[in-house]
Structure 1
Amino acid sequence: MLELKNITFKVDNLDGKGEITILDNVSFKIEQGKILIITGPNGGGKSTLAKIIMGIEKPTSGQILFDGKDVTNLSITERARLGIGYAFQQPPRFKGVTVKKLLNLASGNKLNDTACCEYLTNVGLCSKEYLKRDVDASLSGGELKRIEIASLMARNPKLAIYDEPEAGIDLWSFSMLVDSFQKFKENKDQTVVIISHQEKIIDLADELMIIADGKVQNKGTKEEIMPMIQGKSTSCGCPIKEVVLTNER
């Protein structure tokens, strides 16, 4: 369904001398209907990888295949048309666009209030209070995050990418979000990639992948990978388990 082949991403060093490697020869596959959880230490390249899949960043080298089609050089818009969706770690604001209009634009259909409310309820928002509100600075970061996740759910792409969906979300909303991801796992009608440190989200994984120092350290089932985390260290000397797993929600 999605395959990355030898993806490398480099940026110029700030001092103008040489390059910094953010991702180093990353390769993996994910099958249709599976949930892949990507986790690992901060700064390991996880969010950059998600942006490369969506087309926000272009790899220095390597190839991306989606449903057998080479999408490496396609734009964000072209990838979206093929069925790839992305929820930003820090969502954008849209002055003059109401929450209801955003959900309608995302879905491509004219949703009634009941349908819009259902998507908002899935992410822990008191839905009717939000439909007429603008997606702007009047909303908190946590509210924006939940609304963007709801809009991606409304769009229902073939491949949905969520970058730390738990960030800025309260305990009750986080529980609702986990329940929504659980439905994806049960229905298997959508392929989902989630970047997360949260143990409750990691528990939903069909496959778990550890990225650290720009490389895939391990990939396999949750049962295969979790025992391997114990005792492994990053280049900074910090145990991976300590910088990966949190269960504070």
Structure 2
Amino acid sequence: MLELQQLTWTAPEGGQIVRGVNLTIPDGKLTAITGPNGGGKTTLAKLIAGLLTPDSGKILLDGEDITALDVTERAQRGVSYAFQQPVRFKGLTVRDLVELAAGDKLPEQSLCDMLSKVGLCAREYIDREVNASLSGGEIKRIEIATVLARHTRLSVFDEPEAGIDLWSFTNLIDVFREMRQKLDGSLVVISHQERILSIADEIVVIADGRIQNAGAREEVLPSLLAEGGACPACPKGSKGGSYE
């Protein structure tokens, strides 16, 4: 279980982005964090992963205070993070990257299965270099495959739908459904897509750096879809299946 206690963070240029957030992420569930752009979603995810250090407050994982641990130490504790804009690794192949995440050599079939789950044809990608020749959507799917390979206690995905096509997004929903059914830990997805929110167990709405609403999907999602799909925590005019 992950606990955030009175978490705050201020941007270097000034302006408090996260303001006294208290939140519990339960084990064995998929928790979706949504809300308007600039509301603090990605910043909160980076604080959880250790990419940013809070000004004040605590982050507890299974009761252990991990606030002062860096990203590597948190990864050793079982925290994984998939970037909204993944990093390219010149000189490494897709096979290298997935096996590095898994911590061991993997049978060819296991590698193929992981790549297929994220919508990639293994034969075309398994030995390709993870460099600028790959599109943003391809890199995104490869990074999601590395998170699948890690089997960590806490997996955080920052807008996994960004930059991928409709077919791959549909496939991605199936991946999250499968992960949710087999969870041994916690799964956090930062998203404003209704289809992702609709498969979550818990939904957290954050805006202006504060938690505006949090609870079971059955309780929170109807309010987000009220008035023809407008999101009450989003800028006026946000509609349909996307929360900005």
TM-score, with structure 2 as normaliser: 0.93
The more displaced of 45-54 and 187-196 is 187-196
**Counterpart residue number, 2:32:** 37
The count of corresponding residues between Structure 1 and Structure 2 is: 239
Among 83, 86, 95, the residue aligned to 1:100: 95
1: CA distance between counterparts of 2:115 and 2:192? 24
How far apart, in 1, do the equivalents of 2:232 and 2:113 lie?
42
> Are 1:24 and 2:22 matched, yes or no?
no
TM-aligned CA distance change 1:12 to 1:129, over 3 Å:
closer
CA deviation digits over 1:28-53, x for unaligned, max 9? 10111111000001110100000000
**SS class of match (2:87):** coil
Is it true that 1:64 corresponds to 2:62 in the alignment? no
Measure the CA separation in 1 of the matches of 2:54 and 2:239. 26
- Equivalent in 170, 175, 178 of residue 170 of structure 2: 175
Identity, % of aligned positions:
51
Distance 1:191 1:90 in 2: 22
Q: What corresponds to 2:223 in structure 1? A: 228
* SS of equivalent residue, structure 2 residue 164: coil
Return the alpha-carbon distance in structure 2 between the equivalents of residues 139 and 190 of structure 1. Answer: 31
Instruction: Give the Cα–Cα distance (whole angstroms) in 2 for the partners of residues 7 and 198 of structure 1.
Output: 26
Structure 2 gaps, min length 5: none
Distance in 1 (CA, whole Å) between partners of 2:142 and 2:56 is 34
Distance 2:239 2:86 in 1: 24
Matched, 1:142 2:137: yes
Pair 1:24–1:245, CA change in 2 (3 A)? farther
* Aligned alpha-carbon RMSD (Å): 1.6
Identify if the C-alpha distance between structure 1 residues 24 and 244 changes in structure 2 by more than 3 Å, giving closer, same or farther.
farther
Once residues 183 and 237 of structure 1 are traced to their aligned partners in structure 2, the CA distance between those partners, rounded to angstroms, is 33
Q: Deviations over 1:76-101 (max 9, x none)?
A: 00000000000000000000000001
3-state SS in 1 of match to 2:46: helix
Could you say which residue in structure 2 is the equivalent of 1:16? none
- Residue 79 of structure 1 pairs with residue 79 of structure 2: no
- Structure 1, unmatched stretches of 5+, are 14-18
Deviation of the 1:206 alpha carbon: 0.7
CA distance in 1, matches of 2:183, 2:99: 24
- Write out the 4+ residue segments of structure 1 that deviate beyond 6 Å after TM superposition: none
1:238 matched to 2:236: yes
Q: 1:71 to 1:226 in 2, by over 3 A?
A: same
1:113 is matched with which residue?
108
Corresponding residue for 2:11?
A: 11
2: CA distance between counterparts of 1:122 and 1:166? 14
- Whichever residue aligns with residue 6 of structure 2, its letter is N
Q: Quote the offset at 1:244 in angstroms.
A: 8.2
Counterpart residue identity of residue 49, structure 2: M
Q: 1:2 is aligned with what amino acid?
A: L
Q: Does 1:210 align with 2:200?
A: no
1:228 deviation in Å?
A: 2.7
| Structure 1 residue 128, shift from structure 2 partner | 1.3
Distance 1:228 1:127 in 2: 41
CA contact (8 A) 1:41 1:243 kept: no
